[in-house]
Amino acid sequence: MNIKNNLILALDVMSESEAIEICESVKDYIDTIKIGYPLALAEGLEIIKTLKDKFGFKVICDFKVADIDATNEKICDETFKAGADAIICHGFVGSDSVKACLDMANKHEKELFLLTEMSHPGAKMFLQKNADAIAQMGVDMGITNYVAPATRLDRLSDIRQIVGEDAFIISPGVGKQGGDGKKTLEYSNAIIVGRSIYESENPQESCKQLIDSLNLS
């Protein structure tokens, strides 16, 4: 997935109108957005098509799919039917559940991102202990897209070593969670930034300044 300026906007706002306003302000700087449960639950899956049609964005649905295989299949199917270009699933549920997501992504000719380790402090309690094994499982399954944290560069580096240089990694945690975007991009293909942009008084300027700090503009 080619991502403009190596930057994905995490659009965790709660209304279509706010989403459109923010997207309008940053559309010249990004071409990929990540939508999670907050916006999807508030506005329905229709919001995916609305934003794609209006701005031409690629949409990654961060639903962290983590159920049994039969349920995962249904979640992914509906998400891809709604127009998503990619979906994120958890790996801790095991290969059968992940395979259901991968199979559905392949059926729709879309992409799957495997979440290895999250960016918040609580991820150290359980996820971190198994993140390397999750990443290796993904490699064994032929998965090429991963999510790994910008907040712990040592862990991000470890995951990069496991999945290989040809894999595509996106990393949340830059900005409000303290991750350094430029250092993160030494290991990741793209950073995910949310609140630092959408909570800003001037999202356009915040977006531009962030890109300038990465020396990518």
Q: What is the pLDDT of residues 55-88, one digit of tens each?
A: 999 999 999 999 999 999 999 999 999 999 999 9
Give the pTM: 0.96
154 burial (CB, 10 Å; 0-12 / 13-18 / 19+) is exposed
Active-site entry in 4, 27, 52, 64:
64
Q: What is the pLDDT of residues 115-131, one digit of tens each?
A: 999 999 999 999 999 99
Q: What is the dotted CATH code of the domain comprising 4-213?
A: 3.20.20.70
For the chain, the structural domain boundaries read 4-213
Active-site residue, 64 included: yes
Cβ-count burial 96-131 (b if 16+ within 10 Å, e if not): ebbebbbebbeebebbbbbbbbbbeeebeeebbeeb
Residue in 216, 171, 174 with CA at minimum distance from that of residue 194: 174
Backbone angles phi, psi at 25, to 5 degrees: -75, -25
Q: Check: CB of residue 141 under 8 Å from CB of residue 98.
A: yes
Q: Check: CB of residue 116 under 8 Å from CB of residue 148.
A: yes
Q: pLDDT over 90 for what percent of the chain?
A: 96
Q: Check: CB of residue 40 under 8 Å from CB of residue 217.
A: no
Mean pLDDT for the chain? 96
Task: Tell me how far CA of residue 86 lies from CA of 108, 119, 182, in angstroms.
Answer: 10, 20, 24
The DSSP secondary-structure symbol of 148 reads: -
Q: Check: CB of residue 181 under 8 Å from CB of residue 152.
A: no
- Extract the runs of DSSP E, i.e. beta strands, from the chain: 7-10, 32-36, 58-65, 86-90, 111-115, 145-147, 168-172, 190-193
Give the pLDDT confidence score for residue 175 in this predicted structure: 82
Q: What is the pLDDT of residues 154-171, one digit of tens each?
A: 999 999 999 999 999 999
User: Which two structure tokens, joined as six digits, stand for 146?
Assistant: 């991963």
